[in-house]
């Protein structure tokens, strides 16, 4: 095909069209920029400079000038909630919901944001209602998770369990706390004014089923230990001593780290069956494999009661030599002082009383004052004689399956602070 000279006419025409198009884009950009108030850019600048208070003031001014700025309202609501100004955050999101022309997607988003405002403000009833309104939207999963937290904080275990089932229908992921929800149902049935043994047994069956998904994981041991302890309690209330002992002994094998929580109950179970010597042997053997302060305390006291002072102190020396512990020594001295005080209370002869004290003192420090020694050690061990949450660090004198500080489950190790430091 031959080149025609008149085609050159199109070259300047194309340049002219490009120039016009560029001018139109620039004018549109300038028009949009001029339409944005200066406060908008001031707010962005404050955010970049990490000055949220001044940024909020600037954005509030923009919102007053242009109430149709939906995204800006969402940003304002989030900033208010982050700062803890829940009343202002709620007002922002409620004002969005009051707009009749709000698109459905934005309406669902505003409803979810409002539910989060209510939750953070502690208005659980209103938060529950707000989250229920978005259960059939794209916010279903976070809404169900929030409802689980609400029911958990209210100790409404049946509704929490139903919410977990709904979550499992939405996402395929394990929910470890489901085991404890069922266990809490069992606890409620067992501690009622009239214990409902059948309801407790059914709840523990459900808990065992939920724990099946956790077996082989680190958290499975805690779940199995709690279920076994509750089944032992159920057996005791049902006057089934053999089953009670069987469940307690199962903790020693399936969850050995949690044996310290059942040591005293296991020994008492053996005692009720007239087999306290066998119970002591079981615990002493377990302690050699899995030493813990609480098990040490139970074994030492029982040795003292069954075999006397000599074997008990021999065990204590060996145990403290292998696992040095101020808290263990404090427990040991406490037990000895309790025995000595009991001897004094029964009005033993002065000669017998002094002989007992001299024997104890000579085994620790010759000529030492036992009560003074214990009081000095006790001052240092009080802060170590606690359990601690590994998530928030909340310390407690009693073991909890759920941390009272951060409400996390299974975050307490069944060991005292001195043992895990």
Say whether 183 counts as a known binding-site residue: no
Q: What is the pTM of this model?
A: 0.75
* Amino acid 39: pLDDT: 53
* Amino acid 339: pLDDT: 66
pLDDT over threshold 70, residue 391: yes
* Amino acid 116: pLDDT: 95
Query: Mind giving me the DSSP string for 186-223?
Result: HHHHHSSSS--HHHHHHHHHHHHHHHGGGTTSHHHHHH
Q: Which phi and psi angles does 19 have, rounded to 5°? A: -65, -40
Say whether 392 counts as a known binding-site residue: yes
**Is the separation of the CB atoms in 373 and 333 below 8 Å?**
yes
Report CA Rg, the chain.
34
Q: Which of 305, 317, 248, 312 is nearest to 277 (CA)?
A: 305
Query: Is the Cα torsion angle 34, 39, 40, 43 positive or negative in sign?
Result: positive
Could you tell me the pLDDT band of residue 15, with boundaries at 50, 70 and 90? low
Q: 311-353, pLDDT tens digit by residue? A: 888 888 888 888 887 777 777 777 767 766 666 666 544 444 4
The CA distance from 398 to 264, in Å, is 15
Could you tell me the pLDDT band of residue 360, with boundaries at 50, 70 and 90? very low
Q: 205-260, pLDDT tens digit by residue? A: 999 998 887 665 545 688 999 999 999 999 999 999 999 999 999 999 999 999 99
Say whether 389 counts as a known binding-site residue: yes
Query: Is the Cα torsion angle 162, 166, 169, 171 positive or negative in sign?
Result: negative
Could you tell me the pLDDT band of residue 107, with boundaries at 50, 70 and 90? very high
Query: Mind giving me the DSSP string for 85-114?
Result: -HHHHHHHHHHHHT-TT--HHHHHHHHHHH
Q: 184-204, pLDDT tens digit by residue? A: 999 999 999 999 999 999 999
Q: Which of 363, 291, 305, 307 is nearest to 333 (CA)?
A: 363
Name which residue leads in pLDDT, 359 or 9. Answer: 9
Q: 363-390, pLDDT tens digit by residue? A: 444 435 667 666 767 766 777 788 999 9
* Amino acid 190: pLDDT: 94
Query: Is the Cα torsion angle 102, 107, 110, 115 positive or negative in sign?
Result: positive
């Amino acid at each position: 095909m031959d080149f025609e000279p008149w085609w050159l006419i199109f070259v300047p025409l194309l340049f002219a069209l490009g120039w016009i198009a560029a001018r139109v884009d620039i004018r549109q950009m300038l028009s949009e920029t001029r339409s944005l108030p200066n406060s908008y850019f001031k707010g962005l600048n404050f955010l970049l400079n990490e000055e949220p208070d001044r940024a909020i003031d600037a954005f509030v001014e923009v919102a007053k000038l242009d109430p149709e700025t939906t995204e800006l309202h969402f940003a304002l609501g989030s900033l208010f909630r982050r700062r803890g100004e829940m009343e202002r955050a709620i007002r922002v999101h409620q004002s969005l919901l009051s707009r009749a022309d709000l698109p459905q997607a934005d309406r669902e988003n505003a409803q979810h944001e409002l539910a989060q405002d209510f939750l953070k403000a502690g208005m659980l009833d209103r938060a529950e209602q707000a989250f229920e309104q978005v259960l059939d939207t794209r916010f279903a999963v976070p809404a169900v998770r929030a409802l689980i937290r609400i029911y958990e904080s209210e100790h409404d275990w049946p509704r929490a369990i139903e919410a977990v089932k709904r979550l499992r229908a939405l996402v395929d992921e394990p929910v470890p706390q489901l085991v404890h929800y069922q266990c809490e149902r069992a606890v409620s049935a067992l501690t009622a004014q009239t214990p409902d043994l059948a309801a407790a047994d059914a709840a523990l069956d459900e808990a065992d089923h939920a724990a099946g998904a956790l077996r082989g994981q680190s958290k499975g041991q805690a779940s199995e230990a709690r279920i076994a302890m509750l089944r032992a309690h159920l057996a005791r209330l049902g006057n089934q001593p053999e089953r009670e002992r069987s469940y307690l002994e199962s903790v020693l094998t399936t969850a050995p780290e949690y044996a310290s929580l059942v040591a005293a109950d296991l020994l008492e179970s053996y005692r009720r069956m007239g087999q306290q010597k066998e119970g002591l042997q079981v615990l002493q053997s377990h302690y050699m494999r899995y030493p813990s302060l609480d098990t040490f305390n139970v074994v030492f006291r029982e040795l003292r009661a069954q075999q006397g002072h000599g074997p008990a102190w021999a065990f204590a020396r060996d145990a403290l030599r292998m696992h040095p512990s101020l808290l263990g020594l404090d427990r040991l001295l406490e037990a000895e002082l309790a025995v000595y005080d009991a001897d004094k209370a029964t009005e033993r002869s002065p000669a017998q009383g002094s002989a007992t004290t001299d024997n104890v003192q000579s085994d620790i420090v010759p000529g030492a004052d036992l009560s003074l020694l214990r009081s000095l050690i006790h001052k240092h061990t009080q802060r170590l004689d606690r359990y601690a949450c590994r998530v928030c660090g909340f310390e407690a004198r009693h073991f909890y399956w759920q941390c009272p500080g951060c409400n996390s489950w299974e975050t307490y190790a069944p060991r005292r602070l001195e043992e895990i430091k």
